Amino acid sequence: MFVSKSFLALHSELLNTITNQETFKRMNKRQRSLSQETEELLNKQVELEDISSAIYLSMASWCEINGYENSAAFLYEHTEEEKMHMMKIFRYINETGGHALVPDVTNIKHEFDSLRKVFEEVLEHEIFITNSIHNIVNHCYSSKDFTTFNFLQWYVTEQREEETLARRLVELFDIIGVDGIGLWTIDQEIGKMASGSGGAGTAATAPQA
C-alpha cells in the first residue's frame, strides 16, 4: 500500500506530541505538591465562587429592573469580584500541579421577593462561603499542607470583611425602615457603602458583599 511521505511525517509528529504530553502529565503528577483531596476541595471552591458571581449577577439584574440602581451597581461590581476570587484559586490549582476544572453553573434563580430579601440572601450566602473556606483551611492544617493553608489566609480575611459588610447592609432595613422613601434611602446608602469598601489585599475600590 502506498503511503505518502508527508502522511508518515505527520503521523510521527503526532506520536511525538502525544508522547510529550504523556511524559508531561507523568512528570506533572510526580512533581505535584497538591494532594488529590485538596485539589478536589479547591475545585469545589472554584465552583462556589463562580456560583457566587452568577447569584450576584442575577440579583443585580433584578435590582436594576426594579429601580434600585445603586444596589444593582453594587452587585454588578461584586459579580466581578467573585470572578476574581474564582480565578485566584483556579490558577493556584494549576500552579501547584493540579488540574483546575471549569465549573458548569446552572439553576440560578432570577426572582426575589424584595430588596431586603436580596441582601438577606447575600448574607446567608457569604456565611455559607465562609464555612466552606474554613473547611478547606481545616483540612490543609490537619494534612500539613501549609502552602495551601497560607494561600487561603487571604480568603479567611476576605470572608470576615464580606460578612461584616453584608450584615451592615441588612441592618439598614431595620434602621431606616422600608416605608415612604425608606427603600429609596436604603438604595442610596447601599451606593455609599459600596464605594467606600475594599476587599482583603485590594485597594478600597470594589464593593464587598
Positions in the binding site for ligand OFO (CB under 6 A): 49, 52, 82, 85, 126, 129, 162
CB nearer to ligand OFO: pick between 183 and 209: 209
**Distance, CA of 187 to CA of 172 (rounded, Å):** 10
User: Coil, helix or strand for 15?
Assistant: helix
Contact 198, 208 (CB under 8 A): yes
**Distance, CA of 67 to CA of 71 (rounded, Å):** 9
Least distance between ligand OFO and beta carbon 208 (Å): 7
Residue closest to 97 by CA, chosen among 133, 144, 145, 158: 145
CB nearer to ligand OFO: pick between 162 and 187: 162
Write down the residue that cell numbers 476570587 correspond to.
85
CB nearer to ligand OFO: pick between 85 and 187: 85
Least distance between ligand OFO and beta carbon 108 (Å): 14
CB nearer to ligand OFO: pick between 55 and 186: 55
**DSSP label of 75:** H
CA dihedral 44, 106, 88, 21 (to 10 degrees): 80
CB nearer to ligand OFO: pick between 39 and 158: 158
Least distance between ligand OFO and beta carbon 163 (Å): 9
Sign of the four-CA dihedral 199, 36, 97, 44: negative
| Residues 6+ positions from 135 with CB-CB distance below 8 Å | 41
Least distance between ligand OFO and beta carbon 82 (Å): 5
Least distance between ligand OFO and beta carbon 28 (Å): 28
